Amino acid sequence: MITVLVVDDAAFMRLAIKNVLEKNGFKVVADAKNGQEGIEKYIEYHPDIVTMDITMPDMTGIEALKKIREYDKNAKVVMISAMGQERMVKEAILNGAKSFIVKPYKEEHITQTLLKIAADK
């Protein structure tokens, strides 16, 4: 089973993503409500994929992405962004984000993206 760590400051978003993933056979091993917690959970669970909100308090998704990739440069991180964050997304890609999903998204956007990324070497 593909294991996923969901990092998002919004409880609703965490739940929404979790529901979509679990319905489609992924295993959400942990979630985190900010960047710092995201890094800690990554080290603890070594998930196959991380979904990472870009905008979060204290530490942004991009900072967390950098830290996680420093710890494990194979980490597969998918950014969850909103319209208008083009610059941030670009920065995330330059820092090794595997792909990104633009809110609002369709269910299959998430599942297809994660499946493809999990399969990618």
Among 22, 40, 58, 70, binds other proteins (CB under 8 A): 70
Residue 18 as a binder of other proteins (CB under 8 A): the answer is no
CA-to-CA distance for 1 and 95, rounded, in angstroms?
A: 27
Among 22, 40, 44, 72, binds other proteins (CB under 8 A): 72
Residue 112 beta carbon to other proteins: minimum distance, rounded to whole angstroms: 7
Residue 117 beta carbon to other proteins: minimum distance, rounded to whole angstroms: 7
Residue 60 as a binder of other proteins (CB under 8 A): the answer is no
Do 110 and 25 contact (CB within 8 A), yes or no?
Answer: no
Q: Which of these segments, 9-17, 32-40, 55-63, 111-119, binds other proteins (CB under 8 A)?
A: 111-119
Residue 118 as a binder of other proteins (CB under 8 A): the answer is yes
CA-to-CA distance for 93 and 78, rounded, in angstroms?
A: 9
Give the H or E element holding residue 7.
Answer: strand 3-7
The alpha carbon of residue 64 and the mean position of all alpha carbons in its chain are separated, in whole angstroms, by 10
Residue 23 as a binder of other proteins (CB under 8 A): the answer is no
What residue ranges in 22-119 does DSSP mark as E strands? 27-32, 49-53, 77-82, 99-103
Looking at the Cβ atoms of 57 and 94, the one nearer to other proteins is: 94
